[in-house]
Amino acid sequence: MNVSVLKDKLDRIRAEIGRALIGQDELIEHTLIAVLARGHVLLEGAPGLGKTLLVRTLGRVLGCETKRIQFTPDLMPSDVTGGNVFNQQRGAFEFLRGPVFTQLLLADEINRAPAKTQSSLLEAMQERSVTIDGTTRPLPEPFFVIATQNPIESQGTYPLPEAQLDRFLFKLDVRAPNVAVEKAILASHLSGFDASALDRMHLNRVTTPEELVAMQTEIRGVRVDDSLLEYIADIVWRTRSHRSLYFGASPRASIALLAGAQARAVSAGRDFVIPDDVKALAPAAIRHRVGLQPDAEIEGVSADDCVAEILREVRVPATIAA
């Protein structure tokens, strides 16, 4: 594994995305890590913070086929997966592929569709295939879903079921920019940047889908020390007994954390994982996989608070502290 080559490529990807999306370095970093770890990402944040722009830019820079589904309350599962349609000329049913048959799927405002439609993505996200009328059709490689949603409190939204949430590698909070970044955005706008016309940006394609798949494969070879496996397991295990959590994270969270840590290590130019990788990604990997107790929720305790508390309790491997 040539880590420096991978890191170089990732740096270039970051730089290209950064041209379009200003001041969201951490968001870009975590999204890239998720892509490298073959994971799906749920972006949550208020409208207008660049969620959709990030995905569109990512598709261009990674050279992946990108499709977008705008989730609405009347969206049907077949609108996502496609379905068999009777061809009168041929006198037979033909499969009409839905937008899910792509490499990078942007599920925009996923929580605006009811659970039935949301669930149509379950198999696609986990198995990377779609089964319709008894026929299973594989999805192209690479395949990853980047869904966006507005905060649950907004009107006209349907909270994602736990099973659906669990399939996202990371849930990333998109935060509003600070004043300096906002000023930079305005300056960019003045200089002619138009988020709806990315073609004019002439973004460079840094990788091909094949290269991306190869990178994903290489990531799996990153060394993980036994002590770190224990560290990850301990963190996730503690979510199951935390007093503010109704239910804890599943083993899928552990796997997500591990895969994410491997990708982060490569992103930092290392071929081995360190505790910092795990700690940095734990909130993103766990926050959407746990359920808060009602009273904790009333008192304003968030999942991030619980994860932070757990991270403070778990002993980091090889620490010199007593």
Specify the stretch interacting with another protein by CB under 8 A; choose among 20-28, 142-150, 188-196, 294-302: 294-302
Q: How far is CA 49 from CA 22, 46, 177, in A?
A: 10, 6, 8
CB of 200 to another protein, least distance (A): 38
CA 256 from chain center: how many Å? 11
Specify the stretch interacting with another protein by CB under 8 A; choose among 87-95, 98-106, 210-218, 308-316: 308-316
Helix (H, G, I), strand (E, B) or coil at 125: helix
Structure token pair of residue 255: 């796997």
Torsion, Cα 58 64 65 71, to 10 degrees, reads -40
Specify the stretch interacting with another protein by CB under 8 A; choose among 116-124, 166-174, 281-289, 314-322: 314-322
- In the bound state with another protein, the residue whose beta carbon lies nearer, of 190 and 321, is 321
Assess 220 for contact with another protein (CB under 8 A).
no
CB of 274 to another protein, least distance (A): 5
Assess 7 for contact with another protein (CB under 8 A).
no
Assess 296 for contact with another protein (CB under 8 A).
yes
Q: What x/- string results for residues 39 through 78 when contact with another protein is judged by CB under 8 A?
A: ----------------------------------------
- In the bound state with another protein, the residue whose beta carbon lies nearer, of 45 and 275, is 275
CB of 102 to another protein, least distance (A): 36
Spatial contact of 217 and 8, defined as CB atoms under 8 Å apart? no
Assess 300 for contact with another protein (CB under 8 A).
no
**C-alpha to C-alpha distance for 304 and 93, rounded to whole angstroms:** 49
Specify the stretch interacting with another protein by CB under 8 A; choose among 57-65, 73-81, 210-218, 225-233: 225-233
Q: Which of 220, 256, 214 is nearest to 239 (CA)?
A: 256
- In the bound state with another protein, the residue whose beta carbon lies nearer, of 165 and 311, is 311
**Where are the extended beta strands (E) located within 215-265?**
245-247
Q: Which residue in the set 5, 227, 240, 251 belongs to the binding site for another protein (CB under 8 A)?
A: 227
For residue 197, the number of C-alpha atoms closer than 13 Å in the C-beta half-sphere is: 5
Cβ neighbours of residue 216 closer than 8 Å, sequence gap 6 or more? 35, 36, 37, 38, 142
CB of 154 to another protein, least distance (A): 27
The DSSP H or E segment spanning 20 is helix 3-20
- In the bound state with another protein, the residue whose beta carbon lies nearer, of 179 and 320, is 320
Spatial contact of 121 and 164, defined as CB atoms under 8 Å apart? yes
Identify residue 206 by its one-letter amino acid code: V
Structure token pair of residue 194: 């138009």
- In the bound state with another protein, the residue whose beta carbon lies nearer, of 202 and 243, is 243
Cβ neighbours of residue 97 closer than 8 Å, sequence gap 6 or more? 82, 137
Q: Which residue in the set 185, 270, 302, 304 belongs to the binding site for another protein (CB under 8 A)?
A: 270
Assess 248 for contact with another protein (CB under 8 A).
no
Q: How far is CA 226 from CA 221, 273, 276, in A?
A: 15, 11, 15
Assess 124 for contact with another protein (CB under 8 A).
no
Spatial contact of 104 and 209, defined as CB atoms under 8 Å apart? no
Assess 320 for contact with another protein (CB under 8 A).
yes
Assess 266 for contact with another protein (CB under 8 A).
no
Assess 155 for contact with another protein (CB under 8 A).
no
298 phi and psi angles, rounded to 5 deg = -60, -40
Residues lying near another protein in the complex (CB under 8 A): 223, 225, 227-228, 243-244, 270-276, 279-280, 294-296, 299, 311-322
